[in-house]
Amino acid sequence: MNATQLKTLIARLAAGEIEATEAEQQLLRALRARPFEDLGFARVDHHRSVRQGFPEVVLGLGKTPEQIAAIAAEIVSRGSTLLITRATDAAFDAVRGVAPGATYYADARIIALPQADIAPGNGVLLVIAAGTADLPVAEEAARTAQLMGNDVSRLYDVGVAGLHRLLVEQGRLDTARVIIVVAGMEGALPSVVSGLVSVPVIAVPTSVGYGASFGGIAALLGMLNSCASGVAVVNIDNGFGAANIASLINHL
């Protein structure tokens, strides 16, 4: 029983739509249920939706398609929203067998099957990307945020080498309640954006670059040392993580 299901049950009880004994039975079953399901190689955390407002998300990286499909089946069987990141074609083939309605967003490397258990966010969540090569990460963030119930807006290829491309968009910056900024190479964009707004900025360094970018270290360090306050950082290429905390903020 996830948070939405609990809410519905109580509402119906209060509205007299169901009997007290029926409600009692359902709640007892839920309390008796294990808070996770042990598949041997994985313990699917069914409690997470109650605890954190969104069901357990599956990180596809390092799992076999068979493992991913088994976890997906377990999640779907509980009526929870399915969200798999770092997915591949092979994973999608396996997941389709157990969750026929699932969609694969290849540009975001995401497999998803939304349910009615997601609460809407409060404002616009803006995703900004510095360059075209940052799009896979930006899309992971944007798509995740949408699946988590947020109204998402995108602003791509506005790197600091051509500032006017960003400055003309001050209007869109001002409408956002929380902003994710995705950038590789020197990772300067979050500092600049943060100086232009008064809302929290979640910075995502990407591994875009070569040579002394060292797989995203340059961008990561740039963001951690931002002279602009109001910026916090997630792992290199972690579009999902950025969307997650941004969504928590947008649901406050």
Q: CA-to-CA distance for 209 and 88, rounded, in angstroms?
A: 23
Q: CA-to-CA distance for 87 and 104, rounded, in angstroms?
A: 8
Structure token pair of residue 66: 């068979």
Minimum separation from the CB atom of position 90 to a copy of itself (A): 16
For strands 58-59 and 82-85, give the pairing. parallel
Minimum separation from the CB atom of position 29 to a copy of itself (A): 19
Which regions of the chain does DSSP assign to beta strands (E)?
36-38, 43-45, 58-59, 82-85, 103-105, 110-113, 124-129, 151-156, 176-183, 201-205, 231-233
Minimum separation from the CB atom of position 78 to a copy of itself (A): 15
- Count of CB atoms situated within 10 Å of the CB of 195: 14
Nearer to a copy of itself, 79 or 215 (CB): 215
Minimum separation from the CB atom of position 9 to a copy of itself (A): 19
